[in-house]
Structure 1
Amino acid sequence: MESAQRTALQTYSRTAARSSRLVLGQYSTSFSLACRMLDAASAAHIANIYALVRLADEVVDGVASQAGLNPQDVGDCLDELQVQTAKALRCGYSTNLVVHAFAQTARHNAITSELTDPFFDSMRADLTIQHHNEQSLRDYIYGSAEVVGLMCLQVFRSMPAAPAENAQQAELLDNAARSLGAAFQKVNFLRDLAADSQQLHRVYFPNVDPEHFTESQKLALVAEINTDLAHARAGIPYLAPPAARAVLMAHEIFAQLNRQLAKVPAAQLLRRRISVSTPRKALIATRILVMRSHERTPAPAQEQQTGGTHAA
């Protein structure tokens, strides 16, 4: 009987993990490509993290309201998802397949409510804050993106080939993971400036009027993102080789996107969404795959910029 119960739970958990991979494949070609650099177990863990993050993000970014829910009901849905997640972290089970898969990953990799609670706080801010100030933006980016980087780092630290860390290296990796998450979030804010302001009525960058967005404001944000990306890259040599390749893959795609944003006039960002083309992503992936080890990670290529139709 006990063996049959374990088998039933294993079947359920495998099904939950497949649902997370489906979410990842549907919503992000970039992170799907990065996951291919990992071993199967680590890739599954990253997909489980991504799926929960995406699930919450969709609640606050329009899916619930398009289904006819009023703002109070949308907030209730987010609250319910947080309660489900907290319960699953404690007991290891949820009737929500995405939450169940995340809980399996979290319990295996020591991801706790210390990271999930700030995430849900930031998602809740999307329902209440339309114009951020400097402090609210820092809090938002920490909860919505930096903690996600720290969750992924926990997976990488659990890999069999993960190098041992001293205190200084552990701090460097934590800061690098946070910087990578922050860079990704700021790139998305910049790329989605029009949609966020016109459709969701949110302005993330303080002192920025999307209708009068200037070239100097854009270039200042591009430079800030480049600084975050440089800090993030400093942690890559301290990861296991598969994790280093995966992180570098995601890093280089967003670095490429930031270079493209730098070249597009500020006014055009309000009229079209910039993305990295599929051929460009394939080129980046090929460059990384042919590397023999992460110690030989090349400097980011200064390639000719091209646009595309697929989101980064």
Structure 2
Amino acid sequence: GLMCLRVFVKGDDEQYENLKESAMALGSAFQKVNFLRDLKADHEYLNRSYFPDTNLLELDEQSKARIVQEIKEDFALGFEGIVKLPNEAKFGVYTAYKYYYKLLQKLQRTPSLQIKNARIRVPNYQKFGLLAKSYVNYKLNLV
């Protein structure tokens, strides 16, 4: 998030500092969604766990709900920064935000047992829909 932010603000130090916290939160949200989605592979093949307070082998609905809430808080702070980005950078970041938020919603609706046993994804037709909606929102200055 921070490396991209420096490019997005074209080296403007004041704008960078104003958006830094939001960029870090958005980057964190993206990473945590990936970690939750890739739970099975990360644990089985890499022996990694990115949620220190959670025994991933025993992921239950309560633990998943706590993780999802934490990610939603990161997304909320991240979105505050998206609306303040320079217009040239806004569409791409907003589209990524919409995609990852949709994936989080799908993970939230998916039983924890299924998350532990399969990689959850957003179907391509929904990705195209998100792209189109993001473009319309961007063009209408709704972001």
Normalising by structure 1, we get a TM-score of 0.43
1:157 aligns with 2:9: yes
Q: C-alpha root-mean-square deviation of aligned residues, in Å?
A: 1.9
Aligned residues of 1:245 and 1:294 also touching (Cα < 8 A)? no
Q: 1:221 to 1:291 in 2, by over 3 A?
A: same
From 116, 134, 141, the equivalent of 1:288 is 134
**1:240 Cα deviation from its structure 2 partner:** 1.9
1:185 aligns with 2:35: no
The equivalent of 1:3 in structure 2 is: none
Q: How far does the alpha carbon of each residue in 1:22-71 deviate from its partner, in whole angstroms, 9 at most, with x for none?
A: xxxxxxxxxxxxxxxxxxxxxxxxxxxxxxxxxxxxxxxxxxxxxxxxxx
Tell me how far apart the structure 1 counterparts of residues 22 and 2 of structure 2 sit (CA, whole Å): 9
Unaligned runs of 5+ in 2: none
Structure 2 residue aligned with 1:261: 107
Cα drift, residue 207 of structure 1: 2.8
Q: Does residue 98 of structure 2 align to residue 252 of structure 1?
A: yes
Q: Residues 292, 188 of structure 1: CA spacing in aligned structure 2 closer, same or farther, 3 A cutoff? A: closer
Decide which of 95, 105, 118 is 1:272's aligned counterpart. 118
Identify the residue that residue 215 of structure 1 maps to in structure 2: 61
Select the structure with the greater relative contact order (CA < 8 A; seq sep ≥ 6).
2
For residues 203-249 of structure 1, give each alpha carbon's deviation from its aligned partner in whole angstroms, at most 9, with x where no partner exists. Answer: 12113222211110001101110110110000122212231111100
Q: Which residue of 2 aligns with 1:173?
A: 19
Tell me if structure 2 keeps the 8 A contact 1:236–1:244.
yes
Q: Which runs of 5 or more residues in structure 1 are unaligned?
A: 1-148, 298-312
State the distance in 1 between where 2:24 and 2:140 align: 20
Matched, 1:199 2:45: yes
Q: Which residue number corresponds to residue 242 of structure 1?
A: 88
Question: What's the offset of the Cα at 1:293?
Answer: 4.2
The within-5 A match list for 1:1-312 is 149-158=1-10, 167=14, 170-291=16-137, 293=139, 295-297=141-143
CA contact (8 A) 1:218 1:262 kept: yes
Partner Cα separation in structure 2 for residue 292 and residue 276 of structure 1: 22
Counterpart CA distance in 2 for 1:248 and 1:208 is 30
Does the aligned pair in 1 maintain the 2:2–2:24 contact within 8 Å?
A: yes
Amino acid at match of 2:40: A
Deviations 1:162-195 (A, max 9, x none): xx78x5x543311111111100111111111111
Distance 1:294 1:184, change over 3 A: farther
The answer as to whether partners of 1:241 and 1:293 remain within 8 angstroms in 2 is: no
Task: Give identity over the alignment, percent.
Answer: 37
- The answer to whether the 8 A contact 2:103-2:121 is kept is yes
Q: 1:254 to 1:292 in 2, by over 3 A?
A: closer
Q: Aligned to 1:238, what secondary structure does the other structure show?
A: coil
Are residues 234 and 182 of structure 1, via their aligned partners in 2, closer, same or farther at CA, if it must alter by over 3 Å? same
Q: What is the alpha-carbon distance in structure 2 between the residues aligned to residue 177 and residue 274 of structure 1?
A: 25
Q: Paired residue for 1:11?
A: none
CA distance in 2, matches of 1:286, 1:204: 33
Q: Which residue identity is paired with 1:190?
A: L
Distance 1:292 1:187, change over 3 A: closer
Q: TM-score, normalised by structure 2?
A: 0.91
SS at 2:46 equivalent: coil
